[in-house]
Every structure is written in C-alpha cells, then in structure tokens.
Structure 1
Amino acid sequence: MSPFRVLVIDDSEMAREGIRMILKNTPDFIIVAEGSSGEEAIELSEKWMPDLVLMDIQMPGMGGLEATKRLKEKYPYLKIVMVTVSDDIAHLFDALKKGAQGYLLKNLNPGAWHDYLKAIAIDEVPMTRDLAFRILKELSPSGIAHSQSNPLTARESEILALVAKGLSNKEISSQLEISEHTVKNHLKNILQKLHLANRVQLARYAYEQSWLGKNSDKS
C-alpha cells in the first residue's frame, strides 16, 4: 500500500519539526508539504491533494477551524486532524462540527500518533476512553436531545454504545463474541442509517441521544 500523503499546517516551526520527527520513521506516511496558516492549508491542499491534513487550531490570519470548514466543503474526502495544545472541549466540538475527523494534543506520547493517524486514514478510528469520558461529563442533561425513535436493531445499538465508550473493532468483537468483520459491517449499517460519516460522530450522536447505559439484547 502506498504511504498516506500528509500536509502539515502549523505556524510553529518547532511544532512542524516535532511532527516530522514523529512521522519520519514510519513507511505509512509521507509529508508532501508544510504551511503556517489556514490560507496556506487551502492553497497547498489544492496543489498537493493530500490524504491527510494535520492542522493547528490557532494561527495568524485564517485559523485552523475555518480552514477545516472550507477544505471539507471543497474536498469532502480529505481527512483532517486538529493538532493543538488546547484540551478545551469547546474546541473539540467545534472541530467536529467543522468536519475534522480527529483531534490530537501536541503533548500526547509520540508513540500513540502512528496508530491513531493510521486509523484515521483507513476510517477505523476508536474514540479514546478519556475523550469519551470528558464528552459525557461535559454534556449537561439540558443539552441532550432525545430522538423519538431508534432506527437501529438491538445489536446495532449495543455496538454503538461500545463505540462511544472508546472500544476498538477488535475489542468489540471480543466482548460480543462476534467476528471483527461482522463488527465492521454493523458499523457500516449504523453509519448509513444515521447519516453519519465516522466513529467520532457516532460517539457524539450516542451521547446526544442519551442511548448509553441502555442494555440491549443480542440479535
């Protein structure tokens, strides 16, 4: 498989150097270009057509969130991961609303970057348990929307709850004693039924619909 083409956008040269160091020893990624602003993110994306953009949030001129919104409108296929020092939950939700597929803190252990970014690139991103907990904690009861009907089967609802708790496909297959392939097919059906694009959106949806914590029978 060809390496995923990465565009790095950060106004800090030190941050870009750090990302280069993290990615240089893996054959799965190749950095095709670097920039320091949202404007450059748009310009370089058009020129290089990357698979993945690592985007800082706060930059002079156009920030990363606005650049993400514009890039996703123009290139829906493009995977964008926000890379930031901020762990503000508001930034996370704003990034998701703008279309970002992931969110990495710059102080995260470099060893975790590779697996996370590869999972993003191949659409197999698990929600981290810490992130799932923080989202659950931040959502107040008044902010939770309740759907009138659940279009999912009992098994699909069960899998959705496990995704939102941060379990990977492998962990879900082990816990439910079904094959990983079956889990993937269930997830495809869930995404299609709910008109969602990825696991992060699934997890957020589960919290908003207050489906977590409900026990489902196996189907």
Structure 2
Amino acid sequence: MTQPVRILLVDDHLLAREGVKELLENQKEFVIVGEAANGIQAIEKTKELLPDLVLMDISMPKMNGLDATKAIKQQFPNIKVVMMTVSYDITDWFEALKRGAQGYLLKNLNTDDLLNGLKAYSLDEIPMSKEMAFRIWKEFKKDGQAEESLSARELEVLQLVAKGHSNKEISNSLNISENTVKTHMKNILGKLQLENRVQLASYAYNNGIV
C-alpha cells in the first residue's frame, strides 16, 4: 500500500489551518504531521518532522512564506513546497517559483480542484495551462539556455516532464529506472540553468520541444 503524503501545514490563521485539516482528514492520500504559524516555525518544524510536502501560506508575521520556502529548499531540496494563498498577484507566483516552490494553489479553489492540484504536485505532475507556462517562461528566460546542450535521452525526459508525467511514469515510458530519471532531471536543470519542473515545462513549451 502506498504511504500517504506527509504534510506540514503552515498558515498564521488558525481557522485556515483548521479548514485545510478538515478538508484532508478523509483523504487517504494525505496526512498532516505538523503545523506552523510563521516562516520561522515552518523551518524548525521541517527540520524536526522532515515532511514530504510543506503547504505554505505567503503572508505571515516574523518570516513570510517566500523567505521560509527559500530556506527550506536550500536545506532540504527534495521536500516539496506548495504555496497556498489568497493572492492573485502573478509576481507572487513568480517569486515563489524562483525560491524553489513546486506549485501554487489559491485558497478559494473549490474542493475538487484544490485536492486535484495538491495530488498532482505531490506526484511531481504539473497542473498548469499552456498560457501560464508561457507567462512563467517569459519571467525565467535567461541568456544561454539552449536545448542543443541536451542529449537525445534528456530531450525525451524533458518532453515527458512538460506533459506533466511523474518520474515513475517517465521511468515506465522510457524503460529506465526512476534513479536514472532523477539523474537526467538533475542534468537537464543544470544545463538549462533552471530550478524545478514548472520552469522546465515552460521552457519546453516555448522552445517548441513539445
């Protein structure tokens, strides 16, 4: 049986945390292992609990979610961070991704959309429209990024990442191990000077790779 995704819930509003807990309590895919009310607590709890995923608010006292995300990703790059906020500001979207967040969910999403988004991020999928990918790509575009530096296999992996495939799905599709997929991912990110799967998807869409 697949183990549930262990979530650290970070929000300075108790009612907001209670709402998320109520939403997830009957979802066998997730278990909330801890809570924090600000960015400083989020870092401390992450060190203590080593969750699979941190569900992080942006606006909080003492330390905001963006700064906490950067600190967590620097120390624990394999722990996923998904921002959950009321903000529609696209600059918050970009800033969160720059600091290493895997995704961004709005608190006012309906229950099904919120759960589906959380499930997708936990599986390393990318629930994002092509329009959003283009906007992100424009923000992250850097000189010197060129797919010519990628091997044929790395291009195949990149194409599947851009289509929202998880590492396991890529492994099955290309008949290679998940560890090999992870190695390819690390090499691709390094060659293109990108940080995460969302940026990779944006790059692929807007350079005609998919």
Alignment TM-score, normalising by the size of structure 2: 0.77
Do the aligned residues in 2 keep the contact of 1:3 with 1:30 (CA within 8 Å)? yes
1:126 — aligned with what?
126
Distance across 2 between alignment mates of 1:139 and 1:77: 23
8 A Cα contact 1:127 1:163, kept in partner: no
Deviation at 1:51, TM superposition (A): 1.4
Note if contact 2:189-2:196 (Cα within 8 Å) is conserved in structure 1: no
Structure 2 letter corresponding to 1:26: Q
The 1:157/1:35 distance shift into structure 2, 3 A limit, reads same
**Aligned equivalent of 2:197:** 199
Amino acid at match of 2:10: I
Moved over 6 A (4+): none
Letter matched to residue 203 of structure 1: A
Equivalent in the alignment of 2:145: 147
Alignment of 1:98-109 (within 5 A): 98-109=99-110
Q: Larger Cα Rg: Structure 1 or Structure 2?
A: 1
Q: The residue matched to 2:61 in structure 1 has which SS?
A: coil
**Partners of 2:207 and 2:100 in 1: CA distance:** 23
Contact 1:169–1:184 (CA under 8 A) maintained in structure 2? no
Distance (Å, rounded) in 1 between the aligned partners of 2:159 and 2:5: 30
Assess, with a 3 A threshold, how the Cα gap between structure 1 residues 198 and 44 changes in structure 2: closer, same or farther. Answer: same
Aligned to 2:51, the other structure's residue is in SS state coil
Write out aligned runs for 1:44-59 (5 A).
Answer: 44-59=45-60
Q: Deviations over 1:25-44 (max 9, x none)?
A: 11111111112100110121
Query: How far is 1:71 from its partner?
Result: 1.0
Separation of aligned partners in 2, 1:64 and 1:140: 24
RMSD, matched Cα: 3.2
> Structure 1 length normalisation: TM-score?
0.74
Secondary structure of 2:28's aligned partner: coil
Contact map agreement 1:127 1:200 (CA 8 A) in 2: no
TM-fit CA distance, 1:47: 2.1
Residue by residue over 1:72-102, the C-alpha shift from the partner in whole angstroms, topping out at 9 and shown as x without a partner, is 1122221111001112221111111111111
**Distance change >3 Å, CA 148–CA 34, structure 1 → 2:** closer
Alignment of 1:24-103 (within 5 A): 24-103=25-104
SS of the equivalent of 1:150 reads: helix
Q: Counterpart in 1 of 2:172?
A: 181
Contact 1:80 1:102 in 2 (8 A): yes
Percent identical: 41
- Quote the Cα distance in structure 2 between the aligned partners of 1:155 and 1:76: 24
Q: Distance in 2 between matches of 1:140 and 1:72?
A: 23
**CA deviation after TM superposition for structure 1 residue 205, in Å:** 3.0
Query: What SS class does the counterpart of residue 126 from structure 1 fall into?
Result: coil
Gaps of 5+ in 2: none
